[in-house]
Amino acid sequence: MMNCRNATRLMSEAQERPLSTTERMSLKLHVIMCSGCHNFKDQMGTLRLMARAYAKRKNEPMNEK
């Protein structure tokens, strides 16, 4: 079975490139059984959302001090 280090690496890479079918399948298997990686997977999306919101926020007026 794939370990968490490799699973998180693939989930990170998925933010830059499409994963192969094999990669997707083995990742899916791991994530079903691992709650930590399941949460990590959701967080990749959230992290991107945060980063985009942060950059956008910097472009917007009157938001911070």
Nearer to another protein, 21 or 61 (CB): 61
Residue 20 binds another protein, judged by CB under 8 A: no
Nearer to another protein, 3 or 20 (CB): 3
Two structure tokens written together for 5: 């280090």
d(CA 21, CA 56): 34
Residue 16 binds another protein, judged by CB under 8 A: yes
Closest contact distance (angstroms) between CB of 17 and another protein is 7
Residue 26 binds another protein, judged by CB under 8 A: no
- Residue 36 neighbours by CB under 8 Å, 6+ apart: 4
- Residue 55 neighbours by CB under 8 Å, 6+ apart: none
